[in-house]
Structure 1
């Protein structure tokens, strides 16, 4: 009986002590709501970080699959780019005229060179494409449509025109009208294009059968964009006037 009374008395003292120090009770008992909130914030941050990493890797993987040459600027032909292996023709003492563009001066030679770019030079694109270009192309009045047209040129055709201009400059007796200004423009344009694309195909050194000398071999395999595909696109979008 005395033990029960003592236990009741000690319990009463404990309750009175708690009533006298309510703040102490709050301090001694950690807030479950605070810890729950903290856990939620950590979970949200981890999920956000995981989503960011996932989408970043997905974008990088998609870009590498579709555009293995890292075409980072928009081009209207980006989605049709195809790649093929082409072995270059080497024009040297053993094989001076391996293709139509390495023949002696003639009207046929001129036609072969101009056929690379003349029919493909200027293209028309809708406003939806024009707005995505890295550089602005302005609306041009047109006799075909009252709304006007947006015109572009794939730079490969400009570079081929420049290369043909330099070829002509080597033969002033046949092409007397190639100006020095035009030559300088084309040389620097081709320099920048070559540096920009930086062909990393590897020249090799092999023993020549006729001399036994070790010399560089230029007729090697290259990874190339399908040039015919680009010509087809340019024809489909050829300027109408």
Structure 2
């Protein structure tokens, strides 16, 4: 596992975009794992810039999102599929239907979650996964205590996560859904390459547990130690609890 600390978010964006550009050059049909939230925004902006310049195309690629709220209307601006369209897909050239997200409005969410997991496998798995992390160490919506071999499923969101996400709902915690559909930790760890991005002091405890702590499901982020090819890209604020400098 590589841990890279940088002062400049644009450096993080370039690092991830360089790898995605190289991947798509070698494998135009690559499957990307897409995260929402604030952490990957600079990466998506950098990829969109390269697309405008003609350096990169997603026309043959596919994408799978990490998670989705349960019960938000299909036109809700914070529905994660709408967020990824707004932040990324509308700016590049994925083919219609090439990017999928979990169905948070299915009549049987558990069955839909299992089908989503099978769809990722049928597509050949994720070539490169972008991850963020929650303040309590969750990745996707796998809250503390999630099983290391968990698959895509429906979960209850913790109050901490709902409070953290209330900033996207005008600060109203009650407007944040109580349930989600999320790829499981086992699903995520099957990706062939993972980039985790952590920004800001609110992520410092999680980064500290990842780098200096033990592997434990109490901090799901620490399970990344089980993956053979992970890069952790953090800013100085997110790194301020580390016991020793990395690179």
> Normalising by structure 2, what TM-score?
0.23
Greater share of strand: 2
Give the structure-1-normalised TM-score: 0.24
